Every structure is written in structure tokens, then in C-alpha cells.
């Protein structure tokens, strides 16, 4: 639920900036994360460099952090919803 709220907030901020600039503005995840919590972003980058092979870290990090924040957060919310969703059990109703 938190990812959904953050995704909608990031989308609203991007929409406001787009209207003000008269052009499409999409804030990258790295910029949004840097504004909110720079220490956790540095910890994530350190973990990527430590635990991934040297070439993979330099490829994955810019690819992941360069995506629009609203898209990444909404996709994360959707994936978490898919993991948690359980369809209602159908009851047998004989006539």
C-alpha cells in the first residue's frame, strides 16, 4: 500500500511539474530517492557494488535508478498486489 501511495504522489508531482514546464517531466528514481533519503540510496549502491559482480553493478544500477519514480513505484505496488492477492473461495451451492 505504501508503494502505491508513493507512486501516486510521485506521479502527481511529475504531473504538476509537467504542466508548469509545458513539457513532459518524469523524475528519475535516483533523484526522488536522493531527495527523500540519501543515506539509504548510498547503502543500496554500496550493497550493489559489494554483492554483484563488478560489471553487473555498473550496468544494473543506472538502468534501475534511471527509470521514472512513479512507474517503478506503481509497478512495485502492482507486483506486491499480485503476490498477496488470494481469490475468494467459491462455495458449493447445491440446489
What residue ranges do the domains of the chain occupy? Answer: 2-83
pLDDT at residue 29, rounded to an integer: 93
pTM of the model as a whole: 0.80
What digits encode the pLDDT tens for the residues 1-50? 899 999 999 999 999 999 999 999 999 999 999 999 999 999 998 998 88
DSSP state of 94: -
Where is pLDDT greater, at 12 or 95?
12
Average pLDDT over residues 67-73: 94
**CA angle at 11 for the pair 36 and 16, rounded to the nearest 5°:** 95
User: Is the pLDDT score of 93 beyond 90?
Assistant: no
Average pLDDT over residues 49-65: 86
Amino acid at each position: 500500500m505504501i508503494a502505491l501511495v508513493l507512486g501516486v504522489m510521485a506521479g502527481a508531482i511529475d504531473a504538476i511539474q509537467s504542466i508548469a514546464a509545458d513539457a513532459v517531466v518524469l523524475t528519475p528514481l535516483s533523484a526522488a530517492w536522493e531527495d527523500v533519503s540519501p543515506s539509504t540510496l548510498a547503502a543500496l549502491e554500496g550493497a550493489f557494488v559489494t554483492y554483484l559482480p563488478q560489471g553487473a553493478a555498473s550496468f544494473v544500477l543506472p538502468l534501475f535508478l534511471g527509470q521514472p519514480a512513479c512507474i517503478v513505484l506503481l509497478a512495485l505496488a502492482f507486483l506486491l498486489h499480485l503476490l498477496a492477492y488470494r481469490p475468494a473461495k467459491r462455495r458449493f451451492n447445491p440446489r
